[in-house]
Amino acid sequence: MARTLQRSHPLQSYESAFAALPEGISVKAEPYLSMTDLRLPEDVDGPLGKALPREPGGWVSTADGLIVWLGPDEWLVLSGSRGPGELEADLRDLARPNQGSAVDVSAQRISLRVRGRHARDLLSGGCSIDLHPSVFQNGRSAQTTLGLTGVVLLALGADGDDFRILVRSSFAGYLAEWLVDAATEYR
Partner 1 sequence: MQLIHCPWCGPREEVEFHYGGQAHIAYPEYPSALSDESWAHYVFFRDNTKGEFAERWSHSSGCRRWFNAVRDTRTYTFLKTYKIGEVAQ
Binding site for partner 1 (CB under 8 A): 56-57, 70-72, 74, 128, 142-145, 150
115 half-sphere exposure, CB direction, 13 A CA radius: 10
Q: State which residue, 24 or 150, has the beta carbon closest to partner 1.
A: 150
**Minimum distance between the CB of residue 128 and partner 1, rounded to whole angstroms?**
5
- Are the beta carbons of 175 and 147 closer than 8 angstroms? yes
Q: State which residue, 94 or 142, has the beta carbon closest to partner 1.
A: 142
Q: State which residue, 23 or 42, has the beta carbon closest to partner 1.
A: 42
**Minimum distance between the CB of residue 125 and partner 1, rounded to whole angstroms?**
15
**Minimum distance between the CB of residue 72 and partner 1, rounded to whole angstroms?**
6
The C-alpha torsion from 78 through 34 and 13 to 7, rounded to 10°, is 170
Q: Which of 126, 113, 185, 121 is nearest to 155 (CA)?
A: 113
**Minimum distance between the CB of residue 20 and partner 1, rounded to whole angstroms?**
31
- Are the beta carbons of 76 and 35 closer than 8 angstroms? yes
Q: Which of 177, 181, 173, 174 is nearest to 8 (CA)?
A: 173
Q: State which residue, 74 or 90, has the beta carbon closest to partner 1.
A: 74
